[in-house]
Chain A
Amino acid sequence: MARVLLFGRLSDVAGWRSRDIASDTLTALRDLLCGEDVHLAEALRAPGVQVALDQAIVRGDAALSPRSEVAFLPPMSGG
């Protein structure tokens, strides 16, 4: 079970912010999310979406443990 977090427009599109999802890798998790929600799939493919694993930005695939926290981060804007 990985804890999956959506931020910004992604949580609006999906209709949820946090879910526990069983998955062994980041790629498998992303495929699972995209397979169940075509709108979220489109939003995740938008330019500038980053992924953080246990609060560190990752690029490419990574293994997930049952206590992993995976966050999908759309383009950021503060100030």
Chain B
Amino acid sequence: MITLTDQPFDPGALLSDFCRDRTETGAVASFVGLARAELGAAAILELEAYPGFTEGEINRIAQEAVDRFSLDDFAVVHRVGQIAPGESIVFVATAATHRRAAFEACDFLMDYLKSRAPFWKKETGPDGARWIEPKPQDHADIARWET
């Protein structure tokens, strides 16, 4: 399941829903990304997506994760629009028979989302606005999976 939303979401409720009625899964891993205040430098974060294309690209990489890690299921919920510090930006959950696959698939999906998924992120604070682009660490993170 892939969802883009401009409304705040409750990651705990999403995780409970994701875990419900699974009798053969065995392992669920999840990740929640939160908007940082950067000690007052970031008053608001604005996320732009390309409707249709963004969901399609995430789905393509999620299907790769399903094949690569033999996932039973996955969920990606991503905010768009304006996000206040402390709010959740992204929720990723992965379900597999055993924990290693669930952990690794979750890690893989987050590395992809940080530097390859079609989102554009603008941070606005007292000193003005700036677009945030992937850092060298983000590129190094995703390179780990490209062997």
Q: Which of A's residues lie within 8 Å of B, judged by CB? A: 5, 7-9, 12, 48, 52, 55, 71, 73-79
Contact = CB atoms under 8 A, between A and B. Distances in A.
Interface string B41-55: 000000110101100
Contact of A78 (B52, B117, B122): B117
B33 interface: yes
Interface of B: 33, 47-48, 50, 52-53, 56, 78, 89-90, 110, 113-122, 131-134, 138
Given A55-B56, A79-B113, 10 more contacts: A8-B122, A52-B50, A74-B120, A76-B116, A76-B120, A77-B119, A77-B132, A78-B47, A78-B117, A78-B121
Given A76-B115, A77-B119, A55 B110 contact: no
Nearest to A52: B53
A78 B53 contact: no
25 contacts: A5-B50, A7-B50, A8-B120, A8-B131, A12-B131, A52-B53, A71-B50, A71-B53, A74-B120, A74-B131, A75-B133, A76-B118, A77-B114, A77-B115, A77-B121, A77-B132, A77-B133, A78-B47, A78-B90, A78-B114, A78-B117, A78-B119, A79-B110, A79-B114, A79-B119
Contacts of A5: 50
Nearest to A54: B53
A77 B142 CA distance: 12
Nearest to A7: B120
Contacts of B119: 76-79
Given A55-B53, A71-B50, A9 B120 contact: yes
